[in-house]
């Protein structure tokens, strides 16, 4: 079956089922909102504990979210949630933790050094690279605009 790009697109469009955009957006919004609301609840609960300095509460909240995300990924629950909720599970810290943990889980059969160690950042590496690059560019632009 030899097709050019236009023929293939026409074939694919005719056979693909339509995506429920409104439903997907609603699920993503509700899931992402629930994760963020849970983070705010954690921040509030940590603020009630008197021996935790207020400057450490955001860090502790982030660490807790990462731990929960990695645990749910390891148990196979996070992926099932992501299939239903879509982009809502990509709330930055939980989605990033899921990406790193998933890469490690997928590569564990190849060993700890050549598998997990070498491939743990295959998905999240570009995020780190381009996030750092974008931060650098933003910093240079900010610096240049403050000179004048």
User: Which DSSP string corresponds to 62-88?
Assistant: HHHHHHHHHHHHHTTHHHHHHHHHGGG
Confidence of residue 1 (pLDDT cuts 50, 70, 90): low
Does pLDDT of 45 surpass 90? yes
* Mean pLDDT along residues 43-59: 93
* Mean pLDDT along residues 119-137: 84
Helix (H) or strand (E) holding 123: none
Write out the two tokens for 76. 């196979």
% the chain with pLDDT above 90: 43
The average confidence (pLDDT) of the chain is: 88
- Among 48-52, 67-71, 105-109, 121-125, which range has the highest average pLDDT? 67-71
Confidence of residue 145 (pLDDT cuts 50, 70, 90): very high
pLDDT at 129: 84
Confidence of residue 99 (pLDDT cuts 50, 70, 90): confident
Confidence of residue 102 (pLDDT cuts 50, 70, 90): confident
Does pLDDT of 75 surpass 90? yes
pLDDT at 59: 94
Provide DSSP, 6-64.
HHHHHHHHHHSPPP-HHHHHHHHHHHHHHHHHHHHHHHHHHHHSTTS-GGGHHHHHHHH
pLDDT at 72: 94
């Amino acid at each position: 079956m030899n097709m050019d790009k236009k023929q293939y697109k026409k074939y694919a469009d005719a056979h693909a089922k339509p995506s429920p955009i409104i439903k997907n957006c609603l699920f993503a919004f509700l899931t992402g909102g629930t994760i963020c609301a849970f983070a705010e609840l954690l921040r509030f609960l940590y603020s009630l504990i008197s021996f935790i300095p207020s400057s450490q509460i955001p860090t502790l909240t982030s660490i807790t979210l990462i731990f929960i995300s990695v645990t749910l990924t390891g148990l196979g629950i996070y992926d099932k949630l992501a299939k239903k909720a879509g982009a809502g599970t990509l709330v930055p810290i939980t989605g990033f933790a899921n990406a790193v943990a998933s890469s490690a889980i997928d590569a564990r059969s190849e060993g700890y050094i050549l598998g997990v160690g070498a491939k743990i950042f295959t998905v999240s590496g570009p995020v780190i690279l381009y996030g750092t690059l974008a931060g650098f560019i933003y910093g240079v632009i900010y610096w240049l605009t403050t000179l004048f």
